[in-house]
Structure 1
């Protein structure tokens, strides 16, 4: 059984049995017909995966893990907020509803990775600084990337959901914590897990380290009111074994990774469940 399935079932059971409803509150999200999109939520969820043991993808439904990988490359390699580029270069099209008239996300996501920040050792963007620290000061407790810049929130078309990473090396394994303010769990929950697990793999391989633990903290984990029946259906399914992630070991530079360097062997999964997305 995949660890991704164990976590998914545990969280869905908790939401359906103990989740707090915001029904009748003045909520921001709406369905396409204009109806308010209410949720069941739970606060402060910490999910733990050991990437040295398996890749944390669920099998209870398909996960578009390659799309998540392409978002990684768009944000952290290209350092782009350009939705046109995401569609044309990678074929990922579901960000269009958040784009502005110029076809980008304003000052959000990859734009934050593009900034050059001044350090004692010179100017770095956040990813280059992380890689520099892992190579030159791997036991540092200051290895952080952050997409949530309060000074730029006014210019973002979408406030980042998964926004902060913290990294730790113990002499053998490179571990990471991801902090996420909000998770539309059935729509994007496992995509977020797989894409940041892939980011951890890429960073580790580029600095010659082995991947370790992946801690994923979600402040507000929720499912929407039009997803309750789909959640119950997923809970009735029997999981398959976790697949094996295979990465081209010849790639040593973070900026050289491409989608074709990643493969999943033996990924069995149940059929997809259709979900309406609240905006």
Structure 2
């Protein structure tokens, strides 16, 4: 597994590896779309993983790589809101990406809906049992999501976050392991990383410690032809 010291290094090296080693895959569906053109042919890496060892420069790297910090901050605040949020307002900062997925006034799901009741429970577990391996906050819900396979409705790309309190160099830190079934490198990758690292920071701060390592596993890391063609890669 590759280990990086910065957000920017991880993103650029991951893109390079996808460009060099990605294989052709033509999916039957994307989000809630089932009639796909050749624009949705992908280059894919399976079972991809890496570690970012610290959070320094995260926000600057995110913006350097083209991330919309206004969207990211608004989305983070909606995710941790204890009130029910759907569709919320954060999507307006990336309306060109998200508006088409609003049906009957709301999204098929929001991260807020999936995690808002779990957050306080996970924090309580981490406070009471410092060495716990059970602080897992799930996004994918088989009771809701299995019935939506095949493009019937949107299914979360994220599976779960796992938080681990550990000591490193005589300092207690909160590590985070983030597991995804699927990730679009050009549309969502930097946002998925930033938002998860921000939640890791939020949890660490609530526990009175520093954020530690960020570990990311992705079942299908891919780029769509419509995106990589415009960038002149592959």
TM-score past 0.5 threshold: yes
Gap change, CA 1:91 and 1:231, over 3 Å in 2: closer
Q: CA deviation at 1:219?
A: 1.1
Map of 2:18 onto structure 1 = 15
Alignment of 1:92-103 (within 5 A): 93=95, 94-101=97-104, 103=105
User: Separation in 2 of the partners of 1:207 and 1:193?
Assistant: 21
Map of 1:190 onto structure 2 = 190
Gap change, CA 1:112 and 1:58, over 3 Å in 2: closer
In 2, are the aligned partners of 1:76 and 1:110 still within 8 Å (CA)? yes
Map of 1:118 onto structure 2 = none
Map of 1:148 onto structure 2 = 140
Map of 1:139 onto structure 2 = 131
The CA deviation string for residues 2-38 of structure 1, in whole angstroms up to 9 with x for no partner, is 823322232222222221102xx4622399x962410
Q: CA deviation at 1:142?
A: 0.4
Gap change, CA 1:216 and 1:66, over 3 Å in 2: farther
Map of 1:250 onto structure 2 = none
Map of 2:6 onto structure 1 = 3
The answer on 1:169 being equivalent to 2:165 is: yes
Please say which structure displays the higher CA radius of gyration. Answer: 1
Gap change, CA 1:130 and 1:71, over 3 Å in 2: same
User: Separation in 2 of the partners of 1:176 and 1:200?
Assistant: 6
Map of 2:52 onto structure 1 = 49
The CA deviation string for residues 237-258 of structure 1, in whole angstroms up to 9 with x for no partner, is xxxxxxxxxxxxxxxxxxxxxx
User: Separation in 2 of the partners of 1:58 and 1:175?
Assistant: 20
The CA deviation string for residues 118-145 of structure 1, in whole angstroms up to 9 with x for no partner, is xxxxxxx210111111222222110010
CA RMSD of aligned residues (A): 3.0
Gap change, CA 1:199 and 1:140, over 3 Å in 2: same
Q: CA deviation at 1:232?
A: 5.0
Which structure carries more helix by proportion? 2
SS at match of 2:198: helix
Of residues 104-113 and 144-153 in structure 1, the stretch that sits farther from structure 2 once superposed is: 104-113
Matched residues, number = 218
In 2, are the aligned partners of 1:21 and 1:41 still within 8 Å (CA)? yes
Gaps of 5+ in 1: 115-124, 234-279
Gaps of 5+ in 2: none
Q: CA deviation at 1:67?
A: 1.5
Of residues 209-218 and 46-55 in structure 1, the stretch that sits farther from structure 2 once superposed is: 46-55
In 1, are the aligned partners of 2:10 and 2:52 still within 8 Å (CA)? no
Gap change, CA 1:216 and 1:78, over 3 Å in 2: same
SS at match of 1:95: helix
| Superposition misfits of 4+ residues, deviation over 6 angstroms | none
User: Separation in 1 of the partners of 2:106 and 2:63?
Assistant: 33
User: Separation in 2 of the partners of 1:228 and 1:69?
Assistant: 27
SS at match of 1:182: strand
SS at match of 1:51: coil
> Structure 1-normalised TM-score?
0.68
